[in-house]
Amino acid sequence: TPVFYSGITKMRHDVKRASPTRTHRFILSLRDAGKLVRDYTQNIDCLEEKVGLSTDLRKGPGSLSRFCRKYQSRDVRGHHRVDYEPRLQETNRGIECVLLHGSLRRLRCSNCFITCCWDECGREAKTLAGQELPCPGCAEISEARTAAGKRATAIGKLRPDIVLYSKQDPWAGSISVTTPLHLFQRLDILLITGTSLATHRVKHLVKDFAKIIHKQAGKAVL
């Protein structure tokens, strides 16, 4: 455990210094052109955020209006008047990049699943030294119960908010909400890059997407 915490914290330091690649900028250009439905990544470095893509699952799938870059207005006699490109509201975009394996931004409790800022309360220095941190939320609940004369409850441990092999993904339910079928009706190409598809969950996700693409006479490019 000390080796894990120390090693993952050093990785986090490297991630903070990393810069987006041309691939990240290419994905951003698709977004700006109104052609990106969603980007799914197995990476945990959050470089997508550095180029400006939203990774917040709470924003949901977004509105279909984000694909409508131009509207045409008519005058009262029905004649075409002017084409204009409305300002695309950020709130309509929803989540643009889904972090399938989480990220190194925050720590998550193994018991109650709340997240804590890794950069606060000296947590990063402690994990760099290999320390396992107790969950402040669980500790507060347990202390309150003890003070009331009740039995103390379990206190979880804070771990990086990433999905390790054979571990349950706390965001699985939220991620499924980002893939409503009505969005897939607009897809014509699936780009698969930088993955060996060795992960069972990702492999099945790609297969499901590819089936929908092919039904729409689109293409899957690996």
Pairing between β-strand 102-109 and β-strand 115-117 as defined by DSSP bridges: antiparallel
Residues whose CB falls within 8 Å of the CB of residue 5, separated by 6 or more in sequence, listed in order: 127, 128, 130, 131, 132
Q: How many CA atoms lie within 13 A of 39 on its CB side?
A: 30
Mean pLDDT of the chain: 82
- Cα Dmax for the chain: 78
Q: Give this prediction's pTM.
A: 0.78
Pairing outcome for strands 157-162 and 97-99 = unpaired
Determine whether the annotation assigns residue 109 to a binding site.
Answer: yes
Helix (H) or strand (E) holding 6: helix 2-17
What is the rounded CA–CA span in Å between residue 37 and residue 85? 19
Check whether 172 has a pLDDT greater than 70. Answer: no
Q: Is 112 annotated as a binding residue?
A: yes
Q: Which of 109, 216, 119, 201 is nearest to 155 (CA)?
A: 109
Predicted local confidence at residue 130, as pLDDT: 97
Q: Any known ligand binding at 46?
A: no
Residues classed as catalytic: 101
74-133: per-residue pLDDT in tens?
Answer: 443 444 433 334 444 554 778 899 999 999 999 999 999 999 999 999 999 999 999 999
